Amino acid sequence: MTAEISNGFYMANRILPLPLDYLTEATSITLAKQIECAEVLTPLSPEPIATAYVRQGQDNPPMVLLHGFDSSVFEFRRLLPLLSQRHETWAIDLLGFGFTNRGANLPFSPAAMKTHLYACWKAWINQPITLVGASMGGAAALDFALTYPEAIRNLVLIGSAGFTAGPAMGKLMIPPVGYLATAFLRNLKVRQSISLKAYHDASFASPDALRCAALHLNQTNWQQALIAFTRSGGYGSFQPQLAQLQRPTLILWGAQDRILGTEDAEKFHQAISQSQLIWIDACGHVPHLEKPQVTAAHILDFVRASADSACSEFKF
């Protein structure tokens, strides 16, 4: 479904705004070549939504990876190849983010994102998955798991949002303020400062990392979709519903997280009955980028242990 060209790559017959030779890390280049786009029918629109994803591996049970706010599948360029050695692994760009199409008449809200993700799961996978969510993707994973428990085998939260409600910025995101705010977020110096804060080891905030984080900024309706999502209220707190989660849950948290802090890690652990919390030392908000081998090992061990436990329950 993808076709390479000499100095760039196609995704669903569109060239991404930066050429391959603008990327320097092997994992970034490899993932860029593997991005595909498929049209998915949803109740959100009479027209299918062109949805960006990367799929690697083939062994069951499958995993699905959900990125954070204003991010894309590139966020999993280091983690996905490690997980796919043992499992069929998907990274999917959520509705309104990454390289998934932002149709002018589409709604952009947590509810719409959940509907779109369910349509992707139903069309492409249609069996229980290990759902992995990082930062805002963790809130999206919680929302999905609470609504569609039949689709979930295990849940993994990496530095997850969704316990403490975020700031009420939606009411402020009206023209021209919304456009000024998104223009600020588009600024590469601003994005680099966020990247530096996300890592414990500043060397990870490399030029390649900045390019990966900026590749989607020139997508059609990027600004409008971000404003609409923020005005919808975004993700609030799932604290009252967490006791309803009945799936094994792994909570991974960077011990030096300066984006969300560290207090919510233990709160998630206490609120979710079948959960375990693992701290990743010398690591900031993005363990899947800063400590991908450690993160992958914990996830694979967790999934294997969950499968062994499930099998033992059926032994007589």
DSSP letter (8 states) at residue 70 = T
| pLDDT for position 302 | 98
Q: Which of helix, strand or coil describes residue 190?
A: helix
Residue with the larger pLDDT of the pair 163 and 176: 163
Q: Does some domain include residue 215? A: yes
CATH code for position 65: 3.40.50.1820
Q: Does some domain include residue 170? A: yes
Percentage, residues of the chain above pLDDT 70: 87
Q: Please state which of the ranges 122-126, 135-139, 227-231, 262-266 shows the lowest mean pLDDT.
A: 227-231
* Span 124-173, pLDDT tens digits: 999 999 999 999 999 999 999 999 999 999 999 999 999 997 664 444 44
Nearest to 241 by CA among 158, 310, 156, 139: 139
Nearest to 1 by CA among 35, 47, 25: 35
Concatenate the DSSP letters of all residues of 248-276 into one string.
Answer: -EEEEEETT-SSS-SHHHHHHHHHSTTEE
Domain region containing 98: 52-308
Q: Please provide the average confidence, as pLDDT, over all residues in the chain.
A: 90
| pLDDT for position 232 | 92
Q: Please state which of the ranges 84-88, 181-185, 278-282 shows the lowest mean pLDDT.
A: 181-185
pLDDT above 70 (res 17): no
Rounded distance between C-alpha atoms, residue 113 and residue 94, angstroms? 6
Residue with the larger pLDDT of the pair 218 and 70: 70
Q: Please state which of the ranges 77-81, 153-157, 218-222, 262-266 shows the lowest mean pLDDT.
A: 218-222
Percentage, residues of the chain above pLDDT 90: 81
| pLDDT for position 60 | 85
Q: Does some domain include residue 201? A: yes
| pLDDT for position 18 | 52
pLDDT above 50 (res 239): yes
| pLDDT for position 184 | 85
Helix (H), strand (E) at residue 214: helix 207-214
Residue with the larger pLDDT of the pair 1 and 120: 120
Rounded distance between C-alpha atoms, residue 316 and residue 306, angstroms? 18
**The whole model's pTM is what?**
0.92
In this structure, the number of other CB atoms found within 10 A of the CB of residue 165 comes to 14
Nearest to 195 by CA among 214, 216, 181: 214
Q: Does some domain include residue 17? A: no
Q: Does some domain include residue 98? A: yes
| pLDDT for position 175 | 56
pLDDT above 90 (res 176): no
Q: Which of helix, strand or coil describes residue 90?
A: strand
Residue with the larger pLDDT of the pair 212 and 310: 212
Q: Which residues of 240-266 are buried (b: 16+ CB within 10 A; e: fewer)?
A: eebeebebbbbbbbbebbebbeeebbe
Q: Please state which of the ranges 11-15, 61-65, 73-77, 287-291 shows the lowest mean pLDDT.
A: 11-15
Q: Does some domain include residue 256? A: yes
pLDDT above 90 (res 21): no
Which parts of 149-206 fold into alpha helices (H)?
Answer: 177-186, 188-198
Indicate the number of domains in the chain.
1
| pLDDT for position 316 | 41
pLDDT band at 1; cut points 50, 70, 90: very low
Q: Residue 225 in contact with residue 231, Cβ under 8 Å? A: no
* Span 25-57, pLDDT tens digits: 999 999 999 999 999 999 999 999 999 999 999
| pLDDT for position 8 | 41
Q: Residue 66 in contact with residue 131, Cβ under 8 Å? A: yes
| pLDDT for position 172 | 43
Q: Does some domain include residue 255? A: yes
| pLDDT for position 190 | 93
Q: Residue 182 in contact with residue 227, Cβ under 8 Å? A: yes
Q: What is the mean pLDDT of residues 84-105?
A: 97
- The helix/strand count (H/E) of the chain reads as 11, 10
Q: Does some domain include residue 44? A: no
| pLDDT for position 253 | 98
